[in-house]
Amino acid sequence: MNGQADVRFVLVRPRDPRNVGAACRAMKTMGFTSLAVVLGEPIDPERAGVLAHHARDVLEAALFCTDLDQAIGDAALVAGTTRRRGRDRKYFSLFPEQLAERAAAAGTGTVAVLFGNEDTGLTDAELARCHLAVTIPSSPAFPSLNLSHAVQVVAWELSRALERSPRTPFAPIGGREVDDL
């Protein structure tokens, strides 16, 4: 992306390799290929590859890290996804579209977006390493998204904001013009 931020999706301690594969697919559908995985437990690449489907190249090119520093050390902006706020966490969170606006305005450099593991999310210490927090609004009755679904929502917003060629705006035309066409 010339003149635009390079977005890296960072999966922190994912537990299920199928979620890693599904996250690869979610990223690639929105045009992103930079993935880092901070390992807690080893990930079985064959199980991850099943759900990566046509995004296996994203999985194969992923940076597998032993600690968070390896995944975010070079990032100009680090955002952590979370549904929780509090004293030991961020006091406010951006929505995905607000993160996307900031990423688009950041210019060049790496923007790292962290996603915690499926059971516990990001720890307080991991979120403290982030410049900002991002929350995906969801129902209070069931506020936790699947890892790949959260990746998809954030990737979609980022792709919209970072799109290189703006779409032609809608320009309504009259009925006669439609008939002439």
pLDDT tens for residues 15-37?
Answer: 999 999 999 999 999 999 999 99
Q: Is the pLDDT of residue 78 over 90?
A: yes
What pTM did the predictor assign? 0.86
Question: Mean per-residue pLDDT for 71-88?
Answer: 85
Q: Using CA atoms of 84, 85, 88, 89 in order, give the dihedral in degrees to the nearest 10.
A: 80
